Structure 1
Amino acid sequence: MALPDISSMLTELPNGRSGENCEYDSLYLELEEMAVPVAGQEMGEEVTEGRDADFHKLQQSCEILWKKTRDLRVAAYFTIADFCNNGLIGLEQGLTLINYLVSNMWDEVYPQLDPDDDNDPTERINSLAMISPKQGAFGDPIMFMNHVRGVKLTDELPYTLRDYLVAQGILDKSDDELDVALMQAQMRVLPYEEIEERLKLTSHIEELLTGIAKIVNEKVGQNGYLSFESLEGELRHLKKFYESVGSQMHVHSEIKTDVEGSVLDKETQDQDDKKVLQTTAKITDVASLQIDNRSDALVLIRKCSDYFSKAEPTSPLPYLLNRALRMADMNFVDILAEIDQNSLDKVKEQLGVLPTNS
C-alpha cells in the first residue's frame, strides 16, 4: 500500500483544533472489527469461516476519520495499519503522528479528559497501549506483536525478525525448517548502506517511543503510566541484528561502470531501437571485473543465484550457489560433513579422532 503523506496529517483542524468527537461515528465503531482477525469455528456440522484483519481498509478508514477528528485511538489504529501495510517506515509514520498529538494537542485531543473524573487518562493510555500489547490472544487481540516479529529484516531477502530470533535460540524453530547457516551467509553480503539505513530507522523509532512515553507520563503524573516495553523489547532485538551484521561486513558497493553513451541519430534508428537506446547507457563489463575482496565475491555469487532463480526456475544452479554461500565460512571438516558424512568419518579415522562412545 502506498505510503500516506504524513506531513499533511500533522495539522490542527480548521473547525476547532481537534475537530469532532467521532466516538459514535459508524466508521469509528468499525475500526476494531477491521483490525481483529476472527478464527474459524466448527460446531457439529456447522462451519463458520474465519477472516483476516483488513489493514488496508483500516488505514483508509483512519485517514477518512482524520479529516474530521484528532483522536489518539484513530492515531493508534492508523499506526498499526501503516506498519502492517508498509513495515518499519509505516511504524515510524504512525509514531510521528502520535508524537504530534501528545506534544501539541494534549489538552484538546480525543478521547478528552473529564475534569469531573479527575482528568482520568486511562482511556488515552489504553488507546496507545494497543501498539505495545502483551503477547497472547487476550492481551493482543489484533496479534500486533505477531506482525512485528513478521517484519522483514531487509527488502532483498525473505528473512524476518522471527527468523533471527530462531537463529539466536530465543524462539524455537517452527515447522518450516530455517537454514541458519545460509541465512547468516546471505546477510553478510548485503549492501552496507541498507543495513545502516535500517539501523537508523530502528533507532529513530525507539526514540519516538521513548519520547511519547515520557511526554504522556509527565502529563498524567500519578494518574497513570504508559509503557511500550513489549514493542521496545522487539526493537532491541531488531537493532542488535543490524548492529551485528553491520559490524561483520565490510563497506562495499556493487561494482558498476557507468559509461556515457553517445547521442544517437534518431532518424537512422527504427522504432524498436528508440525504445531501448538511451542518451546515457549504464554498462557493466563483467568480463573485465577484478574482484579484490571476499565480500564482493560473495555478493556476486548471491547475485548469480538470484538471476538463475528468476530466469531459469528449474535450474539446479541456485541450490548449488546457495550451498556455496552456506559453506563459505565453514572449516574443512564442516565442509566434508556438508558434502558427505561418510567422508567425514573416514577423515576422523585417518586423523585418529576417537568415536564419542569410546
Structure 2
Amino acid sequence: MPIDTNKLLTPIEGDNPCGPDLRYDPDYAALMELAKGKPEQEIIEGSGPSATKTIVPGEEPSWSEVKRGCEALLGRAKQLRVGLYLAVALIRLEGYPGLAQGMTLLHGLLEKFWDNLYPELDTDDPANAALERVNIIASMATTPDSFGDAVRFQNRILEAPITESVQAGRFSLRDIERAAKGEPAPEGQQAVTPALVDAAFQDTPLDRLQAIAAAATTAKQKLQALDTLLTEKVGAGSACDLSPLKRLLTTAEKTVGEQVAKRTGAPAGGEAGANGAPAGPAAGGAGAPPQAALAGEVRNRQDVALALDKVIRYYQNNEPSSPVPLLLTRAKRLVTMGFFEIIQDMTPEAIPTLTKIAGAEAKKA
C-alpha cells in the first residue's frame, strides 16, 4: 500500500517541527533491530578433521512491519535514517513505484526540514556539520555486497521486478543480467534466458510497464534533486558520490523504456513521462537523432526557464556527474527575480551599499 508522503512530511506540532530526538526511544531501537533481519550464521560442530560446518541462511526482515514502524516514528519525529529504511521497505514491497515514493520522501525530508532534521547538525564542527546525514545518504550508493553495504540499497533495486508476466514470470535487472551473461540461476530459482525475459516483457501489461518506467524516471529525478540539494547545503567537497546509484536508475529506466517503445511504436528516450513514453526531445541520449527541441526564439522568461530545464535534463540523463545542472538550477531560480532580489540571493552583503547609492525606492522597484 502506498505511503502518504504529504502526511509524513507534515511538521510536528510544537516548537520543533521535527519533534523530539528518538535516538534513545525504545521504539526506535526496536525498529533498527527489526530492519537488520537475521544474518547468515555459520555453525561448526565438533573439532579437528571430524568437525562439521552448517550454514544457516539469513532471513529478511518483515518489510511490512518495518514499513509500519517507520511510518509511526516519522509521525512522531523527522529522522533521516528512518526515512531510509522506509525507502528500502517500499522497494521490497512495491518495487519501482515504492522506490519513487521513497526517493520523494528522502528528498522532502532534507529539503523541508534541513535545519532541524535528525540526526542534528553538529554545531561544534561546522566543517562537518552534516556528516551523519551525508553518510546516511551515501549508504544508498555503497558498492553492492561490500563490507559497508549494510542496507543493500542497490541490491534491493537490482532485485525489484521489472516484468510482471503471469505466464513467463517476474524478472529483475539482476535476472536480466544473469540471462545476458548465460550465468546459472541461484539454487532453487528458475533458470532465466534472454528469450524468457523477452516473453515476460511482452506478456507484462503495457500499463504496468509504463508505470514502472515512470517510477524509475521519478526516482532518478528525485535522486538528482537530492544530490543537488545536498551539494548546495554542504559543498561539493563534503557531499557524497551518488553516481553509482544514478547509473543503476538510468539502466532501469532505459531497459523498461525500450520495452515500452517496442510495444507502443514510440521512440525510446532516456527519460520516461507519466505514461512511460519519452518525456521530450531533451530526454534522448548522445546518440539520439537530432530533434527540434529548442526551435524558435526565446521570447520571455518562461521560455528561458524552459530552455534551462531542457539543458538540465540533458546533463542529468547523459552526464550525471557534471556540476553544470547545479549551476543552471541556481540560474533558473534567478530568472523570475528582480535586480535587488538577485543581488540579495548572490551577494546579500552588497545590499546596504546598493541601497545607499540607489535609494530605498529603487530597492522596491
TM-score range (shorter-chain normalised) is: 0.5 to 0.7
Distance in 2 separating the partners of 1:186 and 1:116: 55
1:137 CA displacement? 4.3
Q: Do residues 135 (structure 1) and 147 (structure 2) align?
A: no
Provide Cα deviations, 1:238-268, integer angstroms capped at 9, x if missing partner: 112112212323469xxxxxxxxxxxxxxxx
- Other structure's SS at 1:129 match: helix
Distance in 1 separating the partners of 2:83 and 2:129: 20
1:312-351 alignment, distance < 5 Å: none
Change (3 A) 1:111 1:223: farther
1:122 to 116, 121, 131: 131
Change (3 A) 1:187 1:47: closer
1:174 to 160, 185, 195: 185
1:218 CA displacement? 0.7
User: 1:31, 1:77 within 8 Å by CA — same for their partners in 2?
Assistant: no
Change (3 A) 1:154 1:177: closer
Distance in 1 separating the partners of 2:195 and 2:214: 26
1:50-129 alignment, distance < 5 Å: 50-118=58-126, 120-129=129-138
**Structure 1 segments of 4+ aligned residues over 6 angstroms from their partners:** none
Q: Do residues 149 (structure 1) and 158 (structure 2) align?
A: yes
Distance in 1 separating the partners of 2:76 and 2:106: 16
Distance in 2 separating the partners of 1:51 and 1:163: 21
Provide Cα deviations, 1:182-214, integer angstroms capped at 9, x if missing partner: 321342354433323322221111000000011
Residue identity over aligned pairs, in percent, reads: 25
Change (3 A) 1:202 1:51: closer
- Other structure's SS at 2:76 match: coil
1:103-252 alignment, distance < 5 Å: 103-118=111-126, 120-156=129-165, 157-169=169-181, 172-175=183-186, 176-221=190-235, 224-250=238-264
1:59 CA displacement? 1.5
Q: Which stretch of the first structure deviates more once superposed, 10-19 or 55-64?
A: 55-64
User: 1:22, 1:28 within 8 Å by CA — same for their partners in 2?
Assistant: yes
Corresponding residue for residue 8 of structure 2 = 9
Q: Which stretch of the first structure deviates more once superposed, 56-65 or 175-184?
A: 175-184
Q: CA RMSD in A?
A: 2.5
Distance in 1 separating the partners of 2:92 and 2:202: 27
- Other structure's SS at 2:61 match: coil
- Other structure's SS at 2:129 match: coil
Structure 2: which 5+ runs fail to align? 47-52, 267-365
1:30-49 alignment, distance < 5 Å: 30-37=30-37, 38-44=39-45
Select the structure with the greater relative contact order (CA < 8 A; seq sep ≥ 6).
1
For this pair of structures, how many residues does the alignment match? 250
Bigger Rg over Cα: 1
- Other structure's SS at 1:115 match: coil
Structure 1: which 5+ runs fail to align? 253-358
- Other structure's SS at 1:130 match: helix
1:142 CA displacement? 3.1
Change (3 A) 1:187 1:140: same
